[in-house]
Amino acid sequence: MNSHMNVSTVTPFIQNLGGPEVAASLILGTFFLSLFLILSVAAFFYLKRANKLPKIFYRRNKASVLQPSETASMIPPPASSVRKPRYVRRDRSRGPPGPGPADSRVSNV
C-alpha cells in the first residue's frame, strides 16, 4: 500500500461539485417543475369548466355546509324603498376658519 497519497488527485473532484452547470441545472429544473405544476392546474380548471372531465370531479350534492339558520343570518336585510337624501354641501362661512381662497389655489405645474 502506498502511504503517501497524493491529495491533489482528490480535491479537484470535490471542488467541481458546485460548478455553474449544477446551478444552471437546478434553476432550470425548478423552472420546468413549477411550469409543469402551473400548467397542469390551469389545464384541470379549463377542462372542468368545459365539462370534459370525468363525473367524479364534479360535485353532485350542492347542499350547503352551513345550517339553514346560519345561511339565513348571512343574507343581508332588504334595502328600504325610500331614497336616501342627497348629500348637501355645507356653507363654507359656518365652518372652522381655514386658508383663504388665495392659499387654497392649486397650480397646474
Would the pLDDT of 96 be above 80?
Answer: no
- Residue 6: phi and psi, rounded to 5, are -80, 115
pTM (predicted TM-score): 0.40
1-14 in b/e burial notation, b at 16+ Cβ within 10 A?
Answer: eeeeeeeeeeeeee
pLDDT band, very low/low/confident/very high, at 104 (cuts 50, 70, 90): low
Q: What is the pLDDT of residues 13-65, one digit of tens each?
A: 555 567 888 999 999 999 999 999 999 999 999 999 999 988 888 877 666 56
Contact partners, residue 51, CB within 8 Å, separation at least 6: 58
What are the boundaries of each domain within the chain?
A: 20-59
